[in-house]
């Protein structure tokens, strides 16, 4: 198994990066975000997954971070989703956004990925919702370079969701209600909590 490949980015070929190391060019299919950030000629490290399909042709899939690779592997564990579909999902949603989409049971966002219908998206949520933790999702998002204002906004949302969970509401239900509050980033935790409770009382 190839854990990662480190070398010079030789070229961008279709939806793949070609990384040259030791005189060999490795073609690695990556999410759209990696293609957009790639710079030919620079050194790059890609965490990889080797897949051998029904055609017996091995293909490499790659990611910028090991934790992104782990999310990719979780997607592969969902029945009906292969490597191509998993990369498609991670091209539409970052791993952070995917965690929140799963926790909020936002099937429509996931179904925006090519080849992923609403039925498959709902199945994905059902199979992965116990794999993600809301507190960890906020922490990872903060670690991935948010601005301070964004981080503060997410902190407030996180506290409001945790408060709702303490009142007996489910995490997904609480997250949906908090995210649905208009101007949430400008509200205090107390104001956000009150607004979310009002929304939940309507349903």
67-117 pLDDT, tens per residue? 899 999 999 999 889 999 999 999 888 888 898 889 888 899 899 888 899
Parallel, antiparallel or unpaired: strands 58-63 and 24-29: parallel
CA distance 33 to 30: 8
What is the DSSP-derived secondary structure letter of residue 188?
-
The three-class DSSP label of residue 168 is coil
Work out the pLDDT band at 147, boundaries 50, 70, 90.
very low
Answer yes or no: are the C-beta atoms of 26 and 60 closer than 8 Å. Answer: yes
Question: What gap in Å lies between CA 142 and CA 3, rounded to an integer?
Answer: 26
Residue 153 pLDDT exceeds 70: no
Q: Return all residues near 100 (Cβ < 8 A) that are at least 6 apart.
A: 106, 137, 141, 175
Residue 138's pLDDT band (boundaries 50, 70, 90)? low
Residues sharing a CB contact under 8 Å with residue 181, sequence separation 6 or more, in sequence order: 187, 192, 195, 196, 199
Spatial CA neighbour of 91 closest among 118, 112, 67, 122: 112
């Amino acid at each position: 198994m190839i854990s990662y490949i480190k070398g010079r980015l030789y070229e961008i070929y279709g939806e793949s990066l070609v990384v040259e190391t030791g005189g060999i060019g490795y073609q690695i299919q990556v999410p759209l975000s990696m293609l957009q950030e790639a710079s030919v000629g620079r050194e790059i490290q890609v965490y990889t997954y080797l897949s051998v399909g029904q055609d017996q042709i091995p293909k490499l899939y790659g990611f910028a971070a090991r934790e992104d690779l782990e999310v990719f592997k979780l997607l592969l564990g969902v029945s009906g989703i292969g490597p191509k579909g998993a990369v498609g999902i991670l091209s539409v949603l970052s791993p952070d956004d995917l965690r929140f989409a799963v926790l909020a049971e936002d099937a429509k966002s996931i179904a925006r990925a090519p080849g992923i219908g609403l039925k498959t998206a709902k199945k994905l949520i059902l199979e992965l919702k116990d794999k993600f933790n809301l507190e960890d999702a906020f922490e990872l998002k903060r670690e991935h370079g948010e601005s301070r204002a964004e981080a503060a906004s997410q902190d407030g949302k996180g506290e409001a969701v945790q408060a709702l969970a303490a009142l007996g509401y489910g995490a997904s239900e609480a997250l949906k209600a908090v995210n649905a509050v208009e101007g949430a980033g400008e509200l205090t935790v107390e104001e956000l909590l009150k607004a979310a409770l009002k929304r939940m009382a309507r349903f």
